[in-house]
């Protein structure tokens, strides 16, 4: 595995490659952003951004969405993966936010994770993007990069990846690191045949890993 300082170096190399980058989900109110993140699970941000303008034009506030018919919401978001479950979850979440939280999105991981359809990744994204908290969300891109560049073991789960990155990066850099790694994963495949590898950062990380294993 790479040493802590090597992981920091690698992430900063990615930032130099990608350049400044931020959230790719359309920014709206905290509630609407929460709903967008829930919808983005196992779906692309592009697909979510295509349906949310329609969804929020019809149901802009929690009280509006909580009263929606599941079938009507499904019709709007049907191009997004798992739309049946997501329609039910976002309606339930809207109800909780309106009736129990006075239309205020929780600013704690525990509070967000108690909402229907919102797991740890959703909570971390919302806390970072909306509330500027030093959290780090792990999606498929982040996980693939972390394993391919030897940040963590191949068998590491998302929580282990999260804890590793959080333990080595300065808190104020976690937000940028998350979005950089996502864009890096979109730009480069993390499943390239090592024999045909052309990505210089991957080659360098492979070399560092080999040297570390000799120590």
Residues with catalytic roles: 121, 139
Is residue 165 a contact partner of residue 134, using CB atoms and an 8 Å limit?
Answer: no
Is residue 113 a contact partner of residue 133, using CB atoms and an 8 Å limit?
Answer: no
Rounded to a whole number of angstroms, the CA Rg of the chain reads 19
**Calpha distance 133→175 (Å, rounded):** 8
Q: How many C-beta neighbours within 10 Å does residue 83 have?
A: 18
Query: How is residue 118 written in tokens?
Result: 């919102």
Go through the chain and tell me how many residues it has.
215
**Residue 128 CA neighbour count, 13 Å, CB half:** 24
Query: Which candidate, 96, 43, 87, places its Cα nearest to that of 68?
Result: 87
Is residue 168 a contact partner of residue 149, using CB atoms and an 8 Å limit?
Answer: no
Burial class (CB in 10 A: 0-12, 13-18, 19+), 16: exposed
**Calpha distance 116→34 (Å, rounded):** 11
């Amino acid at each position: 595995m790479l040493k802590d300082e090597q992981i920091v170096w690698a992430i900063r190399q990615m930032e130099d490659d990608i350049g400044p980058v931020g959230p790719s989900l359309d920014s709206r109110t905290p509630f609407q952003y929460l709903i967008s993140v829930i919808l983005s699970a196992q779906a692309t941000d592009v697909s979510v951004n295509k349906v949310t303008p329609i969804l929020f034009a019809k149901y802009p506030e929690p009280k509006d969405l909580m009263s929606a018919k599941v079938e009507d919401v499904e019709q709007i978001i049907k191009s997004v993966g798992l739309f049946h479950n997501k329609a039910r979850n976002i309606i339930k979440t809207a109800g909780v936010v309106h009736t129990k939280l006075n239309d205020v999105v929780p600013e704690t991981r525990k509070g967000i994770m108690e909402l229907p359809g919102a797991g740890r990744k959703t909570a971390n994204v919302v806390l970072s993007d909306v509330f500027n908290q030093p959290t780090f969300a792990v999606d498929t891109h982040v996980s693939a990069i972390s394993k391919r560049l030897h940040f963590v073991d191949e068998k590491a789960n998302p929580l282990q990846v999260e804890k590793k990155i959080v333990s080595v990066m300065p808190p104020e850099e976690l937000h940028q690191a998350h979005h950089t790694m996502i864009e890096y994963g979109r730009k480069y495949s993390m499943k390239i045949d090592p024999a045909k590898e052309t990505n210089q950062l991957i080659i360098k990380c492979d070399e560092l890993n080999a040297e570390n294993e000799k120590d």
